[in-house]
Amino acid sequence: DAGVIQSPRHEVTEMGQEVTLRCKPISGHDYLFWYRQTMMRGLELLIYFNNNVPIDDSGMPEDRFSAKMPNASFSTLKIQPSEPRDSAVYFCASNFFSNRGLTEAFFGQGTRLTVV
């Protein structure tokens, strides 16, 4: 397996534009997480899915953020409209739940978003 794949790796956009980040989790993993990383706030969990169903989106900062997982191999995180304070590195991670609990997470390489 190629691991968790995120695209694009870098995105520069103007304030007010729509941004879509994409993630392909590892096959067989039933949990998918979206994180945001900034210097000030560290790694923040935005939302996570179990078997393609959103379970907890309490970390999504505003209604401008939305996430979907239409199938087991694809998820998107959308920001509309984008603002400069959304600039951060966005990570997708996947793992599975064993009979002993949640296992280690596998992270993608991240998407570095810059909103100007």
Partner 1 sequence: SQQGEEDPQALSIQEGENATMNCSYKTSINNLQWYRQNSGRGLVHLILIRSNEREKHSGRLRVTLDTSKKSSSLLITASRAADTASYFCATVGAGSYQLTFGKGTKLSVIP
Q: Does 56 bind partner 1 (CB under 8 A)?
A: yes
CA atoms within 13 A on the CB side of 86: 30
Under the binding rule (CB under 8 A), the answer on residue 43 touching partner 1 is yes
CA distance 49 to 56: 7
45: nearest Cα among 77, 16, 69: 77
Rounded to a whole number of angstroms, the minimum distance from the CB of residue 8 to partner 1 is 14
- Angle in degrees, CA 71, 74, 2, rounded to 5: 125
Which CB sits closer to partner 1, 74 or 107?
Answer: 107
Query: Measured from the CB atom, is 45 or 66 closer to partner 1?
Result: 45
Looking at residue 36, its amino acid is R
Compute the least distance from the CB of residue 28 to partner 1, in Å: 16
Range 57-116, binding partner 1 (CB under 8 A): 91, 93, 97, 100-110
Cα(52)–Cα(11) distance, integer angstroms: 25
Residues that bind partner 1 in the complex, under the rule CB under 8 A: 4, 31, 33, 35, 42-43, 45, 48, 50, 55-56, 91, 93, 97, 100-110
